[in-house]
Structure 1
């Protein structure tokens, strides 16, 4: 009998950090600094509506001279997100990362509430995923 394919829930980071879309870039940047993370999930009424990364803050806001104390996450976040469910297999997450040229995927429940985040690093620990697949994701140009 072959070993079970790992599920997203086996490798994801639980309790992802999130902020409401009305929160400011300044609040997100401080949270990222304080928690040592590079992304914050953006929510509306507790449901996932986007994600903002440290790179988004720099490239989309700071470089454009936007005021981080008044610019909301809703103005800067990526809203068109690929997501996975906790019971999806890790290979599905890797495929989505490759197709969308992203290195992180939010993990949501049936009501689109964030329950985790799975990163390229999380998938690198999965022995059953092919190295070429992970290398393709890593080498993909950033998705702006």
Structure 2
């Protein structure tokens, strides 16, 4: 039987509004030990921002992180997958779009995130990536 995205996704993803400051998003990432946050307008997914996005698209450009909105740092062309889709579809999308994480959307509302690490832990737990992804963070 095929395994579904919902079987391995991380549910209840962290979200922020587009006008949230880059500094606030960075604090949320630090406090919740996250590398990605979804940018939403109400229940609608508007973008994805990673810790790398904050550095490359915002902080390195100058400006005040307390006054700079995350909308300018997030990826707004978002690839999504449904919770009832086969994991193979998520893998294909990750390869096709060169992404490591995909928001999981149900009826237009974000309900989770599935990551390359999640798949490694599930499919190849003895691999280096599976082992690293399953380990506790070293914060």
**TM-score, normalised on structure 2?**
0.86
User: Do residues 76 (structure 1) and 38 (structure 2) align?
Assistant: no
1-structure distance, mates of 2:19, 2:54: 15
Q: Take 2:54 and 2:73, find their aligned partners in 1: how far apart are those partners? A: 7
2:41 matched residue in structure 1? 44
- Please list, as runs of the form range in 1=range in 2, the aligned pairs for 1:1-144 lying within 5 A after superposition: 4-110=1-107, 112-127=108-123
For 1:137, the equivalent position in structure 2 comes to: none
Deviant stretches of 4+, over 2 Å: 125-128
1:76-132: CA deviation from partner (whole Å, max 9, x where unpaired): 11000100000001110000000000000000111x21100000011113339xx9x
Tell me by how many angstroms 1:12 deviates.
0.2
What do you get for the CA RMSD once the two structures are aligned?
1.6
Instruction: Tell me the TM-score normalised to structure 1 length.
Output: 0.83
Is contact 1:42–1:77 with CA below 8 Å preserved after alignment? Answer: yes
- Secondary structure at the counterpart of residue 108 of structure 1: strand
Aligned pair count?
126
Q: Which runs of 5+ in 2 are unaligned?
A: 130-139
CA distance in 1, matches of 2:55, 2:123: 34
CA distance in 2, matches of 1:115, 1:122: 16
Partner SS, residue 50 of structure 1: strand
